[in-house]
Chains A and B, each alone.
Chain A
Amino acid sequence: MSVVRSWTPGRLASVAVLAAAAAISVFPFVWMVIGTTLNPNDVLRGILAPGRELASNWEKATGMYDLPTFLANSLKIALLTVALGLAVNGLAAFGFEKYPSKARDRVFGVLLLTLIIPQIAIVIPMFRMFAFFKLLNTHAAIVLPSIMSVFIIFFMRQNFKMFPTEIMEAARVDGASELSILLRIVLPSMQATFASAAIYLFLGQWNSYLWPLITILGDEMKTLPIAMASMMSAYTIEYGALMIIVCVSVLPVLLLFLTMQKQFVAGLLGSVK
């Protein structure tokens, strides 16, 4: 049964606004893709017709950089961060929310306070720490500090609040252990929360620049943002080749978001199935 809605002025206006918003958000991507086919000058000139430089840009980008390695490095680091981050932050948030104690809110308050410390302020102490652990120039140095995220703990805790404690108590009465309550009862109904936390962790790590820049010391360890930055500091910037690297780096994020869009939005709304 199809319903043909009438084009009321209100509906027309909303379609127009949405179309404009869509155009504004899609335009940079279109430009990016077209940029891969242009020579550097035409990229800067803002030409929007595809050119013929794709092959030469590709050659420049892949000739200068070991793109597959950088992509693999970026993926490995981001996925490890997501996996470990979900486990650590998920457990922490669950504990903070469902196991009341006197110290709980004070500890949580202290954790929240650390949100106001900017990363740049702790870069040098962290660098010394990792130098002491002999972990410089390793991917561990990039993954480890990003696992625990106060923001993610806070975000997940807010969502755990909506999970009825009565269900947990019922499970306890039925003889379920605390871990199996989390894994078999809470987790399955909180997939959306975990999905959006995963996207947050992934994006944060995928885009991270300063810390990898400082701890990565060799070419074979580099991530994509570091390669892009190195391209931007040349006397003659190859914008076309740069656009290729940007495309490569946007692709995984785009795929991730498109496949998990539903969960992401649901997670933001804080729904419990």
Chain B
Amino acid sequence: MRKVPKLLLALALALALAPGLAAAPQKLTVWCWDPNFNVYAMKEAAKLYNKAHPEVAVEVVDMAQDIEAKVISGLQAGGAGLPDIALFQDFRIEQFLSDYPKAFVDLKAQGVDYAKFASYKVGPMSVGKSVYGIPFDTGSTGLWLRTDYIKAAGLDPDAYYGKSLKWSEVIKLGETVKAKTGKPLLSYQSDNFDMLRIVVQSTGGQFFNPDGSLNLRSEAFKKSLALFKELNDKGLLYQVVGWSDWINAINSDQAAGFLNAIWMVGSVKSRPENKGKYMVIPTPLIEGVKGAANASNNGGSSWYVFSSSKNQKLAVDFLKSVWATTNEGTKAFYNEILKGAGAMGTYLPCQGGPNFTANDDFFYKSQPLYKDFAAWMAKVPVLTYTPNYQPMRDAVAHATLNYFQGKIKSIDEAIAAAEAEYKQVMGQ
């Protein structure tokens, strides 16, 4: 009964409102988010591609990050409304590759050379022998430190500048800074998993076993959690709840630093008073774990081509010839988006441009920040997210918080609590 008038109305309104969906044959549509970052980078890529292919129009549509909700609807409807290319966050893509195995084009089969990308980016987009994405930006991490507080504590920042530290050394530094200035060492978002994930990834540890089962009882994870507890108990964490408050803590001098990725440059620079104060040193090392590195990652996304695309060949050619080819044009492109958006690609042959090596006088001693982050990026251990990354993330974050607050007494109990919550959520 209800459908009939709706249908009639639908037809009537369609005539009145529909602008038509038909696409020109040489048009590519790309979905991504963040006008100043991803959208900008893709538009620059289109400019480069248009030099050789002026007949191809690339439409970059700025979508909210909830892009995933749209993509799921489109995939459920057999590709209806989907673009040719879309951006996915690295930690989300494994879920899509496992839920919709045929939805994306295997780009390895199309001749993309993945040895030239940072290996940690390629891991999550690989299934068996197939590799599905073109890696985009890095979330290469570092320890951001306020040199003014280090000086105020009677220490010499130069003793730390550019040094790969162990966590024990960082804790010692933190204790001195706290004793002399009263500032905790790190701003820490207590409801967020990011920092723990950064530490665990730096150890080369995994949250999941190769068979997909939960793996929280590894030495790497236990040591990471113990480190967090120590930081917490020694008062070295300035704890806040929520992302906005975390950014605010950083930009209102609540702590002497934080541990996060390259893309924090924008937030740090948005406050002129930060000028000359920050230096970034490599992600500290967890001692006694084999395969641990002074490098890690947080965040980052990659480009994917949908199998439902009618312009599949063109889309693949576009991504390949701009994002995965080495020539003067692509070098200039990667160099340009680094300057224009702070977007650092993960295509290793194109990391040598002047913007990569330039000194940045916003930072302490004009640190060549991008050069350092790029060097650390190549060393980031591969983290496998699996389709169940999000439930694991939430369960671990809850257990960690309870452990900090003393509701859980030991690491083993914290791990057991996280496992129990994960199992409950997964219905196991």
Q: Does B402 lie at the interface of the complex (its beta carbon under 8 Å from any beta carbon of A)? A: no
Q: Whole-angstrom distance between the alpha carbons of A232 and B247 in the complex?
A: 14
Within 8 A of B (CB), among A52-91: 64-65, 84, 88
Q: Does B129 lie at the interface of the complex (its beta carbon under 8 Å from any beta carbon of A)? A: no
Within 8 A of B (CB), among A177-225: 210, 213-215, 217-219, 221
Asked if A137 and B81 sit within 8 Å, CB to CB, the answer is yes
Asked if A234 and B17 sit within 8 Å, CB to CB, the answer is no
Q: Which residues of B contact A45 (CB under 8 A)?
A: 248, 251-252
A128's nearest neighbour on chain B, judged by CB, is: B77
Among B17, B61, B270, B271, the residue within 8 A (CB) of A138 is B17
Question: Which of A4-12, A143-151, A260-268 lies at the interface?
Answer: A143-151
Q: A79: shortest Cβ distance to chain B, in Å?
A: 13
Within 8 A of B (CB), among A122-164: 123-124, 127-128, 131, 133-140, 143-144, 147-148
| Main SS at interface, chain A | helix
Among B16, B19, B70, B271, the residue within 8 A (CB) of A214 is B70
Asked if B266 and A236 sit within 8 Å, CB to CB, the answer is yes
What size tier do the contact residues of chain B reach?
Answer: 35 or more
Q: A244: shortest Cβ distance to chain B, in Å?
A: 14
Q: Which residues of A contact B29 (CB under 8 A)?
A: 217
Q: Which residues of B contact A128 (CB under 8 A)?
A: 76-77, 80
Q: Does B69 lie at the interface of the complex (its beta carbon under 8 Å from any beta carbon of A)? A: yes
Q: Does A41 lie at the interface of the complex (its beta carbon under 8 Å from any beta carbon of B)? A: yes
Within 8 A of B (CB), among A1-60: 39-41, 44-45
Asked if B62 and A230 sit within 8 Å, CB to CB, the answer is yes
Asked if B6 and A144 sit within 8 Å, CB to CB, the answer is yes
Asked if B37 and A235 sit within 8 Å, CB to CB, the answer is yes
Q: Whole-angstrom distance between the alpha carbons of A217 and B18 in the complex?
A: 13
Asked if B248 and A44 sit within 8 Å, CB to CB, the answer is yes
Q: Does B35 lie at the interface of the complex (its beta carbon under 8 Å from any beta carbon of A)? A: yes
Asked if A229 and B266 sit within 8 Å, CB to CB, the answer is no
Q: Does B66 lie at the interface of the complex (its beta carbon under 8 Å from any beta carbon of A)? A: yes
What size tier do the contact residues of chain A reach?
Answer: 35 or more
Q: Does A233 lie at the interface of the complex (its beta carbon under 8 Å from any beta carbon of B)? A: yes
Among A84, A217, A236, the residue within 8 A (CB) of B61 is A217
Asked if A127 and B35 sit within 8 Å, CB to CB, the answer is no
* Given known A40-B270, A123-B73, A140-B10, contact A230–B35 (CB-CB < 8 A): yes
A interface footprint on B245-267 (CB within 8 Å = 1, 0 otherwise): 10110011000000000010011
Q: Does A176 lie at the interface of the complex (its beta carbon under 8 Å from any beta carbon of B)? A: no
Among B36, B80, B263, B270, the residue within 8 A (CB) of A127 is B80
Q: Whole-angstrom distance between the alpha carbons of A236 and B267 in the complex?
A: 6
Q: Whole-angstrom distance between the alpha carbons of A219 and B17 in the complex?
A: 16
Q: Whole-angstrom distance between the alpha carbons of A138 and B36 in the complex?
A: 26
Q: Does B113 lie at the interface of the complex (its beta carbon under 8 Å from any beta carbon of A)? A: no
* Given known A136-B21, A140-B18, A236-B266, contact A230–B33 (CB-CB < 8 A): yes
Q: Does A247 lie at the interface of the complex (its beta carbon under 8 Å from any beta carbon of B)? A: no
Q: Which residues of A contact B64 (CB under 8 A)?
A: 213, 226, 229-230, 232-233
Q: B4: shortest Cβ distance to chain A, in Å?
A: 12
A127's nearest neighbour on chain B, judged by CB, is: B73
Within 8 A of A (CB), among B64-78: 64-66, 69-70, 72-74, 76-77
B250's nearest neighbour on chain A, judged by CB, is: A41
Asked if A234 and B33 sit within 8 Å, CB to CB, the answer is yes
Asked if B73 and A39 sit within 8 Å, CB to CB, the answer is no
* Given known A40-B270, A45-B252, A124-B76, contact A213–B69 (CB-CB < 8 A): yes
A126's nearest neighbour on chain B, judged by CB, is: B73
| Sample of 7 more A-B contacts, CB < 8 Å, known A219-B61, A235-B299, A237-B244 | A44-B251, A45-B251, A134-B18, A134-B21, A135-B14, A213-B66, A214-B73
* Listed A/B pairs (19) with beta-carbon separation below 8 Å: A44-B247, A44-B248, A45-B248, A107-B1, A124-B73, A127-B74, A128-B80, A131-B77, A135-B10, A139-B17, A144-B6, A210-B69, A218-B59, A219-B62, A229-B65, A232-B65, A233-B33, A235-B266, A235-B342
